[in-house]
Structure 1
Amino acid sequence: MEKLWICLFAIFLFIVANAALRELQLEPEDTKFDHLTFTQFWAPEACRSIDPRCKFTNVSSDWTIHGLWPTMGNTHGPAHCTNESFNQSLLTADMLKFMDKYWITYVKYEPNPSFWEHEWIKHGTCAVDGDKTEFLNQKSYFQTTINLYNKYNISTILTKANIKPGMSRPLDDFLNAFKTSEIGKTVRLDCNGVFLLDVEICFNLSLQPIDCTSPTGCSSKKNVSYEPY
């Protein structure tokens, strides 16, 4: 009889746990991912397109971080994997100074820390894995993202391929610029109409670049415009 009660209690706990996960839309299998997507905005176009109230004079004339996202297949997810809140005090002064310049919001009246909080809660909570030194905790998630930004400089990559702000070039020219760079893989581009908006670089779980497989968000039938500052 005791074994029966133990068994019934274990089943009860399983049911309760799964009910809680369903309420949070976090089924156990939904927290899995097979690679990471690192997305960067081209600041001038992001400013113009994301919020009409964005003041371009207050925006860095550079590529800026959107986020580092656990990804499964062609889906940017999982998301919202734990209830760990964002804690800015875990980040160093140097990290915050960098992020205030290169990890910025384009929504007027939204402070940068609100954007970081969003990225942490939606994506960072899924990336954290106690077995991976890059994502041991909240601080390492943000530091790893900063390191990737510094390592793969999109402005430098495009300039080496003679693609500069103010130019309009075929989509393949942009893709080849990344393939022949230190990335050496197919990236994914997004456009706002014909204007280049962001670039996604894909990484395996060891943070080595891999080919992105999601369809590009820019037309191959029209030149892609790399807006000036």
Structure 2
Amino acid sequence: MKTKSSILLKLLVVQCLVVFCVAQDFDFFYFVQQWPGSYCDTKRSCCYPTTGKPDSDFGIHGLWPNYNDGTYPSNCDSKNHFDKSKISDLISEMQEEWPTLACPSADGYSFWQHEWEKHGTCSESIFDERGYFKTVLALKQKSNLLQALKSAGIRPDGKKYSVESIKEAIKESVGKVYRSSAWCTNNKLLDT
């Protein structure tokens, strides 16, 4: 039985942070990371990328513009298609930090294309394609969630940890407020 005060630290699917507020066509960004084992433990099947099994660490899911009312813009510029040549020097880092787990196995390009075309094109007032991906990679380096949780004694070991202790560990490390409404259905963290 799941309670609000404690969760099994095995399936934390998505962690979202409000990373900064902007006076643009939206109100703020969610920087979304996912735990590979958790993604693979959901009802969706998962396949490791063609580049190999990801590290046991949070991976990037995306940077999503949002409105304060809970809605979000998407697919804002249908003419601005993903161009992998614009990020060619970032590919090896993206394959490591932003792996795709969707089936069938892939190299990441279709996942990154989806993220750019759905979310990135809505932040063009701030980023071009290269700037979007470079910024997301920099955010990943600044918000080392696995280390933040480990530093607070929270590990993917099957033990139960309170939601509040997880939020506090992230807030202490990253310095931003964790939006609990961003938690998904399965609140567990699974060691991969």
TM-score tier, shorter chain, comes to: 0.7 to 0.9
Matches within 5 A, 1:206-221: none
Compared CA separation, residues 78 and 58, structure 1 to 2 (3 A): same
Q: Which AA in structure 2 matches 1:180?
A: E
Question: Unpaired runs of 5+ in structure 1?
Answer: 1-30, 196-225
Compared CA separation, residues 34 and 106, structure 1 to 2 (3 A): same
Distance 1:53 1:150 in 2: 25
Is 1:141 aligned to 2:132, yes or no?
A: yes
Of 28, 34, 49, the residue aligned with 2:27 is 34
TM-score by length of 2: 0.77
CA drift at 1:143: 0.3
Of 62, 68, 78, the residue aligned with 2:63 is 68
Compared CA separation, residues 44 and 183, structure 1 to 2 (3 A): same
Asked if 2 retains the 8 angstrom alpha-carbon contact of 1:70 and 1:127, the reply is yes
Distance 2:63 2:102 in 1: 19
Q: Which AA in structure 2 matches 1:41?
A: Q
CA drift at 1:53: 4.6
- Per the alignment, residue 219 of structure 1 pairs with none
Q: Secondary structure at the match of 2:140?
A: helix
Matches within 5 A, 1:1-229: 32-49=25-42, 51-55=44-48, 58-83=53-78, 84-93=80-89, 95-111=90-106, 112-129=108-125, 132=126, 135=127, 137-166=128-157, 167-188=159-180, 189-195=182-188, 226-229=189-192
Q: Could you list the structure 1 runs, at least 4 aligned residues long, displaced by more than 4 angstroms after superposition.
A: none
CA drift at 1:175: 1.0
CA drift at 1:55: 4.9
Identity %: 29
Larger Cα Rg: Structure 1 or Structure 2?
1
Q: Which AA in structure 2 matches 1:186?
A: Y
Q: Which has the higher contact order (CA 8 A, sep 6+)?
A: 2
CA drift at 1:77: 1.3
Distance 1:146 1:33 in 2: 21
Quote the RMSD (CA, aligned, Å): 2.1
Distance 1:36 1:55 in 2: 28
Distance 2:137 2:146 in 1: 16
Distance 1:47 1:151 in 2: 25
Asked if 2 retains the 8 angstrom alpha-carbon contact of 1:49 and 1:192, the reply is no
Q: Secondary structure at the match of 2:41?
A: helix
Distance 1:228 1:66 in 2: 18
Q: Which AA in structure 2 matches 1:178?
A: I
